[in-house]
């Protein structure tokens, strides 16, 4: 091998490992928009953006805030109805984005007819473009900033998983797509990872991790 070829090979190996992590899956490309409802701290928005970027490797853009329509409030006037928020978000999605993730600090309620005003932290299209996430209850129940941030990151990753078509996982208790119900304890015990079955459902191709590690 001549010197130039050797140098090229070295450069390509270095590039593969430039983010310092072993790339286990090729997750394809998606363009994600985060849509804040009214003003939200930059930290909170960036936390969601970074969670999607690091977990999925997708391109994330934070849009300008929009109003939270008062007519979407439930009869008790305390919570915004997710059944109204999701179609609203779908209609607001700019064409260049595959998904639109609405974020709000306000309390939101379930869409089901039976429990019209049941408080929830998120609701997402299954295999559709929209998701709405409320930090209201995550913040209210967290004992510290780091607990709040870790939970919000996991909720965001989980909800984006639904928009990509994933149902709740019944295969692996350690998978982030399991149904947490309203158990923060269960959520806290989970890592930011999907099981092999969920990854396969998304059609993510396993890469040969060995190729990406510099020896």
189: left (phi over 0), alpha (psi -120 to 50) or beta: alpha
By CB under 5 A, residue 160 contacts Zn ion: no
**Which is nearer to Zn ion, 149 or 172 (by Cβ)?**
172
Taking the least distance from each CB to Zn ion, the nearer of 199 and 212 is 199
152, 175, 187, 190: which one contacts Zn ion (CB under 5 A)? Answer: 175
Helix, strand or coil for residue 14?
A: helix
Three-state SS at 109: strand
Candidates 52-60, 97-105, 148-156, 190-198 — which segment interacts with Zn ion by CB under 5 A? 190-198
Among residues 142 and 195, whose Cβ is nearest to Zn ion? 195
Q: Name, in order, each residue with C-beta under 8 angstroms of 28's C-beta and a sequence gap of 6 or more.
A: 203, 204
The verdict on 202 binding Zn ion (CB under 5 A) reads no
Residue 177 sits in the site that holds Zn ion (CB under 5 A):
yes
- Least separation in angstroms between CB 194 and Zn ion: 5
Q: Residue 164 in contact with residue 127, Cβ under 8 Å?
A: yes
> H or E stretch including 9?
helix 3-16
Q: Which of 104, 63, 61 is closest to 86 using CA atoms? A: 104
Q: Which stretch binds Zn ion (CB under 5 A): 6-14, 64-72, 149-157, 172-180?
A: 172-180
Instruction: State which residue, 47 or 155, has the beta carbon closest to Zn ion.
Output: 155
> Contact between 169 and Zn ion (CB under 5 A)?
yes
**In this structure, what DSSP letter does residue 173 have?**
T
**Site for Zn ion (CB under 5 A): which residue of 198, 201, 204, 212?**
198
Q: How far apart are CA 55 and CA 53, in angstroms?
A: 6
Count of residues that interact with Zn ion, criterion CB under 5 A: 6
Query: Which tokens is 86 given?
Result: 């999701």
List residues near Zn ion by CB under 5 A. 169, 172, 175, 177, 195, 198
């Amino acid at each position: 091998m001549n010197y130039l070829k050797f140098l090229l090979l070295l450069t390509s190996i270095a590039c593969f490992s430039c983010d310092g992590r072993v790339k286990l899956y090729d997750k394809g490309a998606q363009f994600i928009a985060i849509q804040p409802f009214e003003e939200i701290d930059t930290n909170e928005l960036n936390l969601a953006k970074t969670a999607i970027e690091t977990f999925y490797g997708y391109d994330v853009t934070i849009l300008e805030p929009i109003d939270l329509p008062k007519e979407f409030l439930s009869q008790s006037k305390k919570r915004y109805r997710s059944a109204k928020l999701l179609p609203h978000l779908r209609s607001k999605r700019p064409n260049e984005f595959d998904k639109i993730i609405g974020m709000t600090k306000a309390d939101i309620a379930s869409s089901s007819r039976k429990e019209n005003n049941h408080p929830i932290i998120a609701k997402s299209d299954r295999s559709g473009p929209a998701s709405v996430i409320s930090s209201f209850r995550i913040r209210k129940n967290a004992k510290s900033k780091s607990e709040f941030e870790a939970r919000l990151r996991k909720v965001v990753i989980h909800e984006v998983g639904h928009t990509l078509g994933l149902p709740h996982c019944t295969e692996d208790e350690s998978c982030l797509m399991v149904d947490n119900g309203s158990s923060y304890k269960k959520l806290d015990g989970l890592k930011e990872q999907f099981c092999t079955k969920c990854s396969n459902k998304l059609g993510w191709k396993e890469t040969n991790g060995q190729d990406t590690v510099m020896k």
